[in-house]
Chain A
Amino acid sequence: MKEVRIFERPRSMADVTTHYCPGCTHGIAHRLVAEVIDELGIQETTVGVAPVGCAVFIYNYIDTDMYEAAHGRGPAVATACKRIRPDLTVFTYQGDGDLASIGLAEVAHAANRGENITVIFINNAIYGMTGGQMAPTTLLGQKATTCPLGREAKVNGYPMRVAEMLATLAAPGYIARVSVAKPKFILEAKKAVRKAFETQIAGKGFSLVEILSTCPTNWGMLPVEATDWLVEKMIPFYPLGEFKVPE
């Protein structure tokens, strides 16, 4: 029987073991980005910008030119790179602490200027690397090490819906929210990531894909429980879908 290869590591993904915890979905999100880079044939001309947070080592996993930016500043770094080298494809990969908290100004203004870059935004409703502190995206009632009794609106405000907020701006080309918690979501997520990169390549402006992700370690759950929790708790508050598509 002839052997047919049906699954392999994307060429844009380095052949190394990641440092992520069991059940963490960063690996899936990385893979989707790498697959899209491969499919579009842009590995040699793509530049990634790593965040501060669990995903800082994305620069070891995605095999393209890479920057490692200061916390939250990825969109500023990407802005300059793309303005100077419009021939390159430039993306940032940022968590919710990096993007929605300390870097909110940078992402909002990059979006508002319509910078022709792609942002992959991982929303797992918590700070991962620093050990489970509250994020701007932490759900009401969700426990974190800095809101041990659960997030309370009158103390900490409400979880922030980044995709919807940025979709109110005129300039962005593509904004979507997806998830990688279940196989059917992963297929949709892949399409969105691809659309985001295609938006950039077509010169249609800022693109952002918010990816709802799990953090079993800091949520204090088993990996499968975490995916269920994401579907039951996160998706009702953070609806999936496209909020802005290129004309």
Chain B
Amino acid sequence: MGEKVLMKGNEALAEAAIQAGCRYFFGYPITPQNEIPEYMSRRLPEVGGVYLQAESEVASINMVFGGAGTGERVMTSSSSPGISLMSEGISYIAGAELPCVIMNIVRGGPGLGGILPAQSDYFQATRGGGHGDYRLLVLAPSTLQEAVDLTMEAFDLAEIYRNPVMILGDGFMGQMMEAVEFKPAPERKLPDKRDRAVGYRARRGKRALVKSLYLDPAALEAHNMKLKAKYDLMADRETRHESYLVDDAEYVVAAYGTTARIARSAVRLLRDEGIAAGMVRPITVFPFPYAPFQNLGSQVKEVLAVEMSCGQMIDDVRIGVAGKVPVSFFGRVGGVAPTVDEIAEAVRRLRKS
């Protein structure tokens, strides 16, 4: 504690999960997240945990379902195509209200796509991915330190809301090295893991039933409304963002994750040129921080969404801005990251148009 260590992103994520109390990992290899399962396979037996390489992502996520049902801290990690395969299981986990953490080190798509970083799975992460009316709590760190900090909190959040939490990273975050410090998460009141888990029948005097089936429409509607109330509560209590030089900004860049790191440099460059630029950076992308966009000052002339996608988060930005000012888009895709100069130039173009 209190000591900075230089670590690769994927390994830092894995170590943070272990320090957060995760002892069970079920996964399947896929680039660019392989260092997470590799690290786990080495470290978990040292701390009395279990690492198991499943036969597929489909099996991995169903092992997470089974593991989460015991009330213990379980996780998996994957990258875009693997998350697609897991989507069915994630829907079941959300339906059965089980806590777990899923790390998604996003790569370019669609299909097999490529193995380089992308943000093209924003819709998948924030709009479900699997079937049914469910949401994940999606944390989108921008630096490795933030990735570590959010991972330390993710397991608590999953248990409090009995909901899967996704760490939405990207290939840059997984592969880069940075100094990180492992600090304990803020203390939160957690539910007793034995309340609903299997394996505590004698203690509880009542059996556990882990399921997502509600054939009676009235019962399913009630279940859906209960989930909805939970997601509303998440929106109320867990929405996070960072505003950077927004108070007097005329041009506001909206960016998350690795893109926000690059955009921050672009904002500084523009400020040096005398252009009043700022940035709103969502830290949770579900729940999405609409408020900072709703409350933009009257001096704001335009918002520019910058993503490593063809434009996905921009939909949420537009919902927040609600037509008050124009919202435009700049993105690079296919594993290509926008440069500082490209983002700055995109803002300069807004001024000319």
Contact, CB under 8 Å: B64 / A66 = no
Interface residues of B, dominant DSSP: mixed
Chain B 120-144: CB-based contact to A (< 8 A → 1; otherwise 0): 0000000000000000000000000
- Neighbouring B residues of A87 by C-beta, 8 Å: 199
Q: Are B207 and A105 in contact (CB under 8 A)?
A: no
Which of chain A's residues have a CB closer than 8 A to the CB of B64?
Answer: 80
Given contacts A67-B211, A106-B59, A109-B55, contact A88 B66 (CB under 8 A): no
The contact string, 1 if C-beta is below 8 Å from chain B, for chain A 40-60, is 000011010110000010010
Please state if A77 and B65 are interface contacts (CB–CB under 8 Å): yes
Chain B residues 146 to 191 lying within 8 A of chain A, measured CB to CB, are: none
List residues of chain A with CB within 8 A of the CB of B88: 70
B50, A66: Cβ atoms under 8 Å?
Answer: no
Partner of A84, one of B59, B72, B92: B72
- A139 touches B (CB below 8 Å): no
Docked pose: A83 CA to B66 CA in angstroms: 10
In the complex, residue of chain B having the shortest beta-carbon distance to the beta carbon of A105: B55
Q: Tell me which of A47, A59, A80, A83 contacts B211 (CB under 8 A).
A: A59
Number of contacting residues on B, CB 8 A? Answer: 35
Measured CB to CB, the closest approach of chain A to B193, in angstroms, equals 12
- Determine the chain B residues whose CB is within 8 A of the CB of A231 once the complex forms: none
Residue of A nearest to B50 (CB): A83
Chain A proximity of B240: nearest CB distance (Å): 31
A77 in complex: contacting residue of B52, B63, B212, CB < 8 Å: B63
A79 CA to B54 CA, complexed, in Å: 10
Specify which chain B residues have a CB less than 8 angstroms from the CB of A109 in the assembled complex: 54-55, 59
Decide if A66 touches B208 in the complex (CB within 8 Å): yes
8 Å CB contact of A88 from B60, B67, B92, B199: B199
Q: Are B59 and A105 closer than 8 Å at their CB atoms? A: yes
Pairwise interchain contact A65-B207, C-beta atoms closer than 8 A: yes
Say yes or no: A81 contacts B201, CB within 8 Å.
no
What CA separation (Å) do A68 and B213 show in the bound complex?
8
A5 at the interface (CB under 8 A from B): no
Chain A: number of interface residues, binned into ranges: 20 to 34
Q: Is the CB of B89 within 8 A of A73?
A: yes
The reply to whether B210 and A66 contact each other, CB–CB distance below 8 Å, is: yes
| A69 interface neighbour in B50, B54, B65, Cβ under 8 Å | B65
Q: Does B115 sit within 8 A of A, measured CB to CB?
A: no
B293, CB-defined interface residue at 8 Å: no
Indicate which residue in A56, A65, A85, A105 contacts B213 across the interface (CB closer than 8 Å): A56
CB distance from A120 to the nearest CB of B (A): 17
- B59 touching A68 by the CB < 8 A rule? no
Separation in Å of the B145 CB from the closest CB of chain A?
31
Q: Which among B52, B58, B210, B211 is the interface contact of A79 at CB below 8 angstroms?
A: B52
Within the assembled complex, what's the spacing in Å between the Cα atoms of A209 and B24? 29
Structural contact, B55 and A67, CB atoms closer than 8 A: no
Q: Which residue of chain A has the shortest Cβ distance to B207 in the bound complex?
A: A65
Q: Are A68 and B210 in contact (CB under 8 A)?
A: yes
Contacts of B24 in A (CB 8 A): 80, 83-84
**Residues in B whose Cβ lies below 8 Å from that of A79:** 52, 59, 63, 66
Residues of B40-83 at the interface with A, using a CB-CB cut-off of 8 Å, are 50, 52, 54-56, 58-60, 62-67, 69-70, 72, 74
- C-alpha spacing A63/B209, complex, angstroms: 10
Q: Which 9 A-B pairs have the closest CB atoms?
A: A77-B66, A80-B66, A68-B211, A76-B62, A80-B67, A73-B62, A109-B55, A80-B63, A65-B198
B contacts, CB < 8 Å to A = 24, 26, 50, 52, 54-56, 58-60, 62-67, 69-70, 72, 74, 88-89, 92, 96, 198-199, 201-202, 207-213
18 contacts across the A-B interface (CB closer than 8 A): A44-B201, A66-B209, A66-B210, A67-B66, A68-B211, A76-B54, A76-B58, A76-B62, A76-B65, A76-B66, A79-B66, A80-B63, A80-B65, A84-B67, A85-B70, A85-B198, A105-B56, A109-B55
